[in-house]
Copies of this chain bind each other. A is one copy, B any other.
Amino acid sequence: MSSDPVGLHRVITPSGVLPQAAEKLDARPEIWPDEVRIAVERLNLDAASYRQLAEAYGGDGTAIRRAVLDIVEARGKMQNPVTGSGGMLVGVVDEVGPESPLGVAPGDRVATLVSLTLTPLRITDGLENWDGRGKQVPAHGHAILFARSIVAKLPDDLEPELSLAVMDVCGAPALTARVVRQYVDKGIKPVVSVIGGAGKSGSLSLAAARHAGAARTIGIVPVRHESERLAAAALADTVALADARDPVALAAAVEQAGGPADITVVCVDVPGCEHGAVLSTATGGTVIFFSMATSFSAAALGAEGLAADVTMLVGNGYVPGHAEYAIELLRTEAGVRELFESRLAED
């Protein structure tokens, strides 16, 4: 049996599907000629996935750890069966097949930029160094990368935890910047509203919007301490408080902050933000959904029901150069770095 660039050869069940859609992957450590094996150091669980596990087990760290171990053992990958989401990992390149196109060498410390939902993974330490509280999971074991994977070497000048946290959400600033530039290229300096502006993907998206030429940036946060934190980071021209699940309240808050927005970026991982995002966006504007809690039908029917002529984008986690761009924003924007470091200290 020969290998396949997207990993079809590692799918056990059901037969013939892509690795992400698979119930179970083959996580054996022996590599095919175009594969790479990584010695895992740390997993970074997707926020929606960790939240679901934490809620399901009432915050009991031991039970959460057991649940993660059971998922990886059963599926050969870390894909939460409820949320469908995964996360990413950091490790050291252990072995590189002679036909691998990824450009890494044994000993390189790397982060995988493809999701854990399609990455063959085996954990060998029982996650004994993780207390089950928080999304960053120290782990020993191995993971496999296919020919068509994406992997980034970790910068020497940054803590690995910091790089990992940035790379985990690096699709958001890259796509936000691309969309802002499309407006600028047409001669429009857009007003950009970021819902969940004090979070990781949110703060990077605010920095990217300004960097790419937004006329005005608005950061929406749900609670007072987040608004103080975002104001201190100076990443948004205006910071406003609103519950994004309340469309009427959100639209009023964005309006008062200088909206409606030409571009709305949804970065909060709670369900029910679709209608508010649409209602607070100008006619002809664009909504970019990055939250994995987004409901496709709520977005589609919401815009139709509001007779809203807006372009709605599914936030694609991959844009060429996304990791480098996010790391550049972290290095050059003190406010971004502050927010990331304080969030990491809390995790």
A interface, CB within 8 angstroms of B: 6, 8, 16-21, 83-86, 113-115, 117-118, 148-150, 171, 246-248, 272, 275, 279, 289, 292, 294-320
Contacts and interface: CB of A to CB of B under 8 A. Distances in A.
B115 A304 contact: yes
A6 B21 CA distance: 39
A313 B313 contact: yes
B297 A317 contact: no
Contact of A311 (B289, B300, B313): B313
A148 B16 contact: no
Contacts of A275: 18, 20-21
A243 B294 CA distance: 27
Number of copies: 2
Nearest to A321: B309
Given A21-B298, A171-B304, 13 more contacts: A6-B279, A21-B275, A84-B298, A300-B314, A300-B315, A303-B318, A304-B316, A304-B317, A308-B316, A309-B320, A311-B316, A313-B313, A313-B314
A308 B295 CA distance: 22
Pick from A149, A248, A304, A313 the residue with the most CB of B within 10 Å. Answer: A304
Contact of A316 (B84, B298, B300): B300
Pick from A21, A295, A301, A319 the residue with the most CB of B within 10 Å. Answer: A301
Contacts of A115: 301, 304-305
The 8 closest A-B pairs by CB, nearest first: A304-B317, A312-B314, A118-B305, A303-B316, A296-B296, A294-B296, A84-B297, A20-B305
A18 B305 contact: yes
A296 B292 contact: yes
A303 B289 contact: no
Contacts of A19: 305
A5 to B, nearest CB: 10
A312 B301 contact: no
B17 A148 contact: no
B320 A303 contact: no
Nearest to A291: B296
B307 A150 contact: yes
A87 to B, nearest CB: 11
A201 to B, nearest CB: 12
A314 B296 contact: yes
Contacts of A247: 17-18, 21
